[in-house]
A and B are shown apart, each in its own frame.
Chain A
């Protein structure tokens, strides 16, 4: 198979394809940032059609026209197929050849019988949000294939990741993570052990056709955990045109020998046009990663995922059933698994793995094994008078098993081969949203959401058994005018958390039950102002209260040589239990778009979290039989997060483009007047991109080459009160490059690309990697990616 080719061979093959293929000369132009814009108007009256849907048939990306009927896309060079539809008008499909920025107005013909057939199907578009958002779709997403979700999201400015070795990435939005970031997987709030910093999201990123990050609180819509932001993982919509199609992805990486294969088959039946289906699966194996100097021991991993969806869709009602399963086994660096503080100090002192290992695909102890199942039923009803009602019912099971470095000493126990830590989380969520029909300039929705969650463990205790019941109601209204959109939202959640803790041991054992009930409000206000056709300004302000989670109250156990203690476990008499935190968020975003040269976005934000729940070390650490064990206690303080994200592109000439991104976050503990730990260091990225354009349809199209540098400064803003095991590492600059093309093989347009990361094979450590104490980062890595779209549909007789 192609992805198993030695990387050098693959590189040569691709270079050959890329260099020899197609005419080099010709009118050149930038791809993927070309602006396609225009106006959708009524063919007869020439009146603007606000709210019309413009769908890119190749990527399934869709936008709705604004109040003046304008739409806008950023596209790659080449031919793009668009479908434009609007209620009461005939849908129009057209091809646009992008050879520079294009302005294309579209006139739609009204149909005599409205409400029949011409309706947009399966193309509901999220409204523009007042919060800063970042999206990865189309070719950008293709450039991340093979990476984990958390790693791919780092393409968005202001989004970083807490890493645990080379394989586990936990998304960090503006410095906030875990219990403060909500991940929506296909419209369902992902629930598992999301509190853990070394617990990556249990989602196959190959399922997504689009990844969106809402940077900043979005609690009214997504619940009180969305203080830091929201990650939306959206699969492609079910096929709505008759036929059967498929898409295959192959990815190979040179550094760790990663091979990934992902395939998707989808169809829509001629006999039953309302019925659509899709099956999808991914297999991924990776061996040990290599730093420039050594192999990172036991960093291999394996992942096997599949999903299936079946939908029935009519114009006024529809339903979908979706099931997905995610399975992964992740090797963990043995050197990170330590008994006590002095082991830790010795390992940090070494700074590199003790026992050298050769490259291997084997996964030994310690490792994590995680399975996540999701079953989702959803449906909608649209009526002409009442609006649209959507309901989603989902059940998730998350099983996380963690195996220690060494099997149990007792042979009988060792034979059972049980995980030392094992959590099972079962969550049922139900959501009901009613979007009322527009009342003048007012649109909006009312929603109810409910969660029933049950968490248990086997093996060593760490977080308690708990039952969590949450009920919420929200209202979001939006007022549109020519240039303004104003949005206001309110939410109320009732949370009932019952924890059941094991106390004592056999012979003297009982269960301590505690119950916590909170009613937490959320409110938001936002506005979007189209200052001109080239500049949009938006502002958002919100208040969220988040009730403490079970781990913050009652964590109690040792994990990787570190003891975590929940606040309520260690609370002196008379001190009230942990109370909800209150987040006040404000953000301002300016977006320049549709400009011939410079396009970009600047956003500034501030999140103040009163009674911020965080962990502080207990000094001196308490003694146990393993000696001194680093012990962390959950505490509350007042925290302030502030920062700026910048992203922009500058078109130097039709074929050359400069792309830049930068992000700065500052986080302060206001009670101690000190910095907060684990804040992303300042970073910036600059790349230069060249796009070729072939005037005639040759065999090689959409060829591009880019080279870029990614720089991260040393984090100097660290708490003086908190002792870290080692000072933050020095800053680094990494060089990367990528080339790619679309090759026409018979009737198949294959996307091929070759990307190199850390090209100079530099030795570096990153502050946000939890294993930076024990090992340096991955060295040079070359990735070969291939995407094959297939269409099995026969021509209609």
Chain B
């Protein structure tokens, strides 16, 4: 008798089991990704060594990866002039924006900027060094030559190589954190 009762209650339990399924915790919502490191903005400020107004150019993608397209400024430099260049990198997805430049300075032995001018008379020389006397690139000297032919624009490509392992002064190790192209003209 007891056995039958037991079986019946077990049967009932078996049938009912799937219906006891319920979520134990309230399903949560995503939160702002404040722990994600991003670089959204590259600012290059060029100050003529002989005095005069600084030239600033910016690559800005304040919403980070995807979504809205970036805004890219044009770099216009005077001919036969020497500038002191300073790069600033920001993460504008954070409020207030996070300054990545300081972190790169702190870990300058793991970073290298590579400057590649094309189609314009601009020479970029890295003037800052890390503790192993390898170039970094946050500070530069930029020398311009003759003006661009009328109607032509060149470019300046700025690449940040993140090289925590094996930085040797060449771009090869590591991977790319920044790769931006500024339209550049000397006139």
Contacts and interface: CB of A to CB of B under 8 A. Distances in A.
B131 interface: no
Contact of B21 (A428, A460, A465, A626): A428
Contacts of A457: 30
A317 B10 CA distance: 9
Contact of A379 (B14, B103, B166): B14
A430 interface: yes
B172 interface: yes
B30 A623 contact: no
A450 B16 CA distance: 13
B66 A565 contact: yes
Interface string A424-453: 000010111000000000000000101010
B29 A465 contact: yes
A431 B176 CA distance: 49
Interface of A is mostly: strand
A461 interface: yes
A389 interface: yes
Interface in A532-571: 556-558, 561, 563, 565
Interface in B58-106: 59, 61, 63-66, 69-70, 93-95, 98, 100, 103-104, 106
A624 B61 contact: yes
Contacts of B33: 459-461, 502, 505
B32 to A, nearest CB: 4
Contacts, number: 165
Interface in A484-514: 500-502, 504-507, 509, 511
Given A343-B175, A389-B14, A409-B37, A624 B65 contact: yes
B118 to A, nearest CB: 14
A626 B7 contact: no
Given A452-B21, A454-B23, A459 B35 contact: yes
A339 B10 contact: no
A357 to B, nearest CB: 11
A406 interface: yes
A391 B95 contact: no
Given A339-B175, A459-B36, A627-B179, A506 B95 contact: yes
A507 B18 contact: no
Contact of A465 (B10, B19, B28, B37): B28
Most chain A CB inside 10 Å of its own CB: which residue of B22, B33, B37, B176:
B176
B36 A626 contact: no
B163 to A, nearest CB: 9
A623 B7 contact: no
A616 interface: no
A625 B40 CA distance: 7
Most chain B CB inside 10 Å of its own CB: which residue of A410, A428, A460:
A410
Interface in B133-187: 159, 162, 164-166, 172-181
A409 B65 contact: no
B30 A502 contact: yes
A391 B66 contact: no
Contact of A393 (B17, B159, B173, B179): B17
Interface residues of A, number: 67
B54 interface: no
Given A406-B164, A459-B33, A461-B30, A450 B21 contact: yes
A464 interface: yes
Interface in A332-389: 337-340, 342-343, 354-355, 377, 379-381, 389
B96 to A, nearest CB: 9
B46 to A, nearest CB: 20
Given A432-B18, A465-B30, A625 B42 contact: yes
B124 interface: no
B17 A377 contact: yes
B64 A391 contact: no
Nearest to A450: B18
Interface residues of B, number: 59
A411 B65 contact: no
B15 interface: yes
Interface string A608-636: 00000000000000111111100000000
A478 interface: no
A673 interface: no
B4 to A, nearest CB: 11
B18 A448 contact: yes
A150 to B, nearest CB: 28
Given A354-B172, A413-B35, A506 B30 contact: no
B122 interface: no
A206 B35 CA distance: 39
A389 B125 CA distance: 79
A505 B63 CA distance: 8
A391 B18 contact: yes
A454 B179 CA distance: 37
A354 B29 CA distance: 41
A506 B175 contact: no
Contacts of B37: 408-410, 413
Most chain A CB inside 10 Å of its own CB: which residue of B18, B39, B174:
B18
Contacts of B159: 627
A714 interface: no
B32 A505 contact: yes
A558 B177 CA distance: 12
A635 to B, nearest CB: 17
B112 to A, nearest CB: 13
Contact of A626 (B14, B23, B66, B179): B179
B65 A558 contact: yes
Contacts of B7: 316-317, 381
Contacts of B94: 505-506
A675 to B, nearest CB: 29
Given A340-B179, A430-B21, A504 B65 contact: no
A717 interface: no
Interface in B108-141: none
Contact of B61 (A381, A500, A565, A625): A625
B63 A504 contact: yes
B180 A405 contact: no
A121 interface: no
Most chain B CB inside 10 Å of its own CB: which residue of A411, A413, A506, A507:
A506
A155 interface: no
Contacts of B165: 355
Nearest to A410: B103
A411 B10 CA distance: 57
A626 B177 contact: yes
Given A389-B11, A428-B21, A406 B162 contact: yes
A381 B30 contact: no
B168 to A, nearest CB: 11
Nearest to B40: A625
A405 B17 contact: no
Contacts of B166: 355
Contacts of A379: 10, 13-14, 17
A364 to B, nearest CB: 9
A177 B94 CA distance: 39
A391 B19 CA distance: 11
A506 B30 CA distance: 12
A405 B175 contact: yes
Contacts of B28: 456, 465
Contacts of A456: 27-28, 30
A284 interface: no
A185 interface: no
Given A459-B35, A460-B36, A461-B30, A557 B65 contact: yes
B176 A509 contact: no
A416 to B, nearest CB: 8
A189 to B, nearest CB: 14
The 3 closest A-B pairs by CB, nearest first: A627-B179, A430-B18, A339-B176
27 contacts: A339-B162, A340-B176, A343-B175, A406-B162, A407-B164, A409-B103, A410-B103, A416-B35, A428-B23, A452-B22, A457-B30, A459-B35, A464-B30, A465-B27, A465-B29, A467-B27, A502-B32, A505-B32, A505-B94, A509-B32, A511-B29, A556-B66, A622-B69, A623-B69, A625-B39, A625-B179, A626-B177
